[in-house]
Chains A and B, each alone.
Chain A
Amino acid sequence: MTVSALRSKDLLGIEPLTPDEITLLLDTAESMRSIADRPIKKVPALRGRLVVNLFFEASTRTRFSFETAEKWLSADSLNFAAKGSSVEKGESLLDTARNLQAMSADLIVIRHGSPGVPHFLAGNLEAGVVNAGDGAHEHPTQALLDALTMRQRFGKLEGLSVVIVGDIAHSRVVRSNIWLLTKMGARVRVCGPPTLLPPRIEEMGVEATADFDAALEGADAVMALRMQLERQGGSLFPSAREYFRRYGLTKERLARAKPHAIVMHPGPMNRGVEIASDVADSDRAVILDQVANGVAVRMAVLYLLLGGRPWEGERGA
């Protein structure tokens, strides 16, 4: 480990991070994992610190994961969902943020449907800001937990060949993963129907193809994205059936990847749309490892952003 702290008070994305910072986050997350194995899952590292979870978009998994991380680190946490809040009464984003500032929040975890909202808050608040997903832009903690999962399986990220398949255009998971994996020396192929491949994605340093079978050749990891046909109003892809036939991850298709290839999914899964049930339930799937790693990664993020030094167990905290 060549750095012992993050440079910024915020985690707005993977794009601004250096490879050393990514390694620090992953190493810290790795050491946080042991907390989950204890009978009493709590350390006092963030006692007396206030973390606000500000979710303008529905989320179960990510919010629960952050909340669990906050509780295990003994932070005080508040949950703010846009529905039923002052936002519904017409309060502006800036006023909401200023109110949170006035409540002395130390860290704000935000999810919003519009790219750049975490950046807007970070520029207007003294509190740290963690991006828990901003539109189709970034979802840094998801990429970190994906990387942690791959690193556990393969020992390293450098040289891995990773395929991401699905709605590339509207996915924040893809963008954060591209930044992270390319910074760490992995090769990334993105694959999806032409209507769901954004223009000039290659300029992010990846290969892009509509041919899923070809994309899978030699892959170490395959990440299937949740297909949200209902969001697309029918004009981007005709039907789930047609999608599954071309882009569903089946056992037959998976055989084109390397024999040890792992299957990942950020959840929640649509079985029979982007992934076949038998693949999702096979020993190749590391989907539940991803969930467990999610808590560890978020603990690492909260801990490091709130000034923690490299984690050496409770005594070091």
Chain B
Amino acid sequence: MSGAGGGGPLLLRGGRLIDPVSGKDGRLDLLLRDGLVVDVGESLSEEGAEVFDASGLYVFPGFIDLHAHLREPGREYAETIATGLAAAAAGGFTAVCAMPNTDPVNDNRSITEFVRAKGVAANGARLYPIGAITKGQRGEELAEFGELREAGAVAVTDDGKWVANGSVLRRAFEHASLFDLPVVQHAEDMTLSRGAPMHEGAVSTRLGLSGQPGIAETAAVARDLLVAELCRGRLHVAHLSAARSLEIVARGKAKGIAVTCEVTPHHLTLTDEEVARSGFSTRAKMNPPLAEARDLEALATGLADGTIDAIATDHAPHHEDEKAADFNSAPFGVVGLETAAAVIHDRFVVPGRISPSRFAELFSAGPARVFGLPGGTLSPGSPADVTLFDPGARWTVDPPRFLSLGRSTPFAGWELTGAPAATIVGGRVVWRREQ
């Protein structure tokens, strides 16, 4: 997916270019050639370059999603790598990190290579595989991190399951340090959460549903941080949802522990009341579950003050037949690739809760830094991955129009201001919004 394969140079003209890493923010043109950023400046011109009129649009470093379930291999009826990467591009993402809880689990080189090859063949966002921490995600024996790294894995995780055994986690940190791989934890103490379908609180009590107390996550985060501190591990907390968990991450950062965290758009915008409001809709069922107003406030503060490193989707498609079940039996998970950027723009950038620059950082430089990925900036020499975003577009979330095979989202019907306008990967426009 290099620029050479996609044609000649591309000149993005007239947009508002925002690159938090270089500190650039202004009406600047961007020249891409041979898959790389060549130049950034005022009134650029280049003979033979195709000109893309970006006036009225933001020009951001390509958005990177640290957390998506693309379901292939194993559950191609729910999503494939091709449909997932097309959906990612339509959501403004130029790269997606694919979770290893496939069938079979991505705990070895051959699956990583398969996933990566499928990603290269797809015409959408780039794909970075994430390998499993333990073989079969059983939480016992470590996977071969070296093999995974060589085959292209950028991190390891048993996502969906918390590595509950502290010694296994310690060895994972120690072994991962050889290959500079961050260890990603889905923080959930199952003895506290008991797999309950929603957050424990006034709403779960009212609805008669069993709830997971918020501390099921926080207790796990605290334990993971202590282990990371002990062995100088590099910990990334996936889909952090509770105020107390964020507090602990902030303290860990202040102590100099190598910890980062991501949050999802749904945890930033919805509370457990959504389960009641929607009449028990399984579109409001995900793990971790939607929490409470005080958690949302804390996450919003963390978004603005920098404690939160990245926004990630936890895109988790299921077939509609699977979600058309009762609240207790339906699977956890909602799709997010095609709504994440627009939802955050509408709810945080439009009302001025975060700046466009911080918005760009949370979706590009932040995630790139967390996993040490190329990109995240538009400095010359960087990959020519660009997200063009139209801050004035008004649209309504309409799941049947998604490119993802998944349709289940709590944002269905939301009227949003701001939408991805075009997605450029390796200097080539892989998706463009229909006018």
On whether the beta carbons of A137 and B207 are closer than 8 Å, the reply is yes
The interface size bin for chain A is: 20 to 34
Q: Is B51's beta carbon under 8 Å from chain A? A: no
Within 8 A of B (CB), among A126-151: 134-138
A150 to chain B, nearest CB (A): 23
Within 8 A of A (CB), among B317-366: 321, 324-329
On whether the beta carbons of A135 and B280 are closer than 8 Å, the reply is no
A55 to chain B, nearest CB (A): 15
User: With A and B bound together, what is the CA distance between A203 and B272 in angstroms?
Assistant: 15
B contacts with A, residue count (CB < 8 A) = 19
Instruction: Kindly identify which residue among A116, A170, A200, A201 contacts B326, using a CB–CB cutoff of 8 Å.
Output: A116
User: With A and B bound together, what is the CA distance between A70 and B321 in angstroms?
Assistant: 33
Q: Is B202's beta carbon under 8 Å from chain A? A: yes
User: With A and B bound together, what is the CA distance between A93 and B282 in angstroms?
Assistant: 14
On whether the beta carbons of B201 and A115 are closer than 8 Å, the reply is no
Please, which residues of chain A bring their CB within 8 A of the CB of B202?
A: 199-200, 203-204
On whether the beta carbons of B324 and A204 are closer than 8 Å, the reply is no
Contact string against A for B residues 219-263, beta-carbon threshold 8 Å, 1 for contact and 0 otherwise? 000000000000000000000000000000000000000000000
Please, which residues of chain B bring their CB within 8 A of the CB of A226?
A: none
User: With A and B bound together, what is the CA distance between A201 and B279 in angstroms?
Assistant: 20
Contact string against A for B residues 188-213, beta-carbon threshold 8 Å, 1 for contact and 0 otherwise? 00000000000011101111110100
A82 to chain B, nearest CB (A): 12
On whether the beta carbons of B208 and A135 are closer than 8 Å, the reply is yes
Please, which residues of chain B bring their CB within 8 A of the CB of A117?
A: 326
A241 to chain B, nearest CB (A): 27
Q: Is A114's beta carbon under 8 Å from chain B? A: yes
Please, which residues of chain A bring their CB within 8 A of the CB of B328?
A: 113-115, 135
A123 to chain B, nearest CB (A): 7
On whether the beta carbons of A200 and B205 are closer than 8 Å, the reply is yes
Within 8 A of B (CB), among A39-94: 92-94
On whether the beta carbons of A204 and B205 are closer than 8 Å, the reply is yes
Within 8 A of A (CB), among B254-283: 279-280
Within 8 A of B (CB), among A188-242: 198-201, 203-204
Instruction: Kindly identify which residue among A112, A135, A204 contacts B206, using a CB–CB cutoff of 8 Å.
Output: A204
Please, which residues of chain A bring their CB within 8 A of the CB of B279?
A: 116, 119-120, 123
Contact string against B for A residues 88-127, beta-carbon threshold 8 Å, 1 for contact and 0 otherwise? 0000111000000000000000001111110110010000
On whether the beta carbons of A137 and B208 are closer than 8 Å, the reply is yes
Could you list which residues of chain A lie within 8 angstroms of chain B, going by C-beta atoms?
A: 92-94, 112-117, 119-120, 123, 134-138, 170, 172, 175, 198-201, 203-204
| Interface pairs (27), CB distance under 8 Å | A92-B321, A92-B324, A92-B325, A93-B325, A94-B324, A112-B326, A114-B328, A114-B329, A115-B207, A115-B209, A116-B207, A117-B326, A120-B280, A120-B326, A135-B328, A136-B208, A170-B208, A175-B208, A198-B205, A199-B200, A199-B202, A199-B204, A200-B201, A203-B202, A203-B205, A204-B202, A204-B205
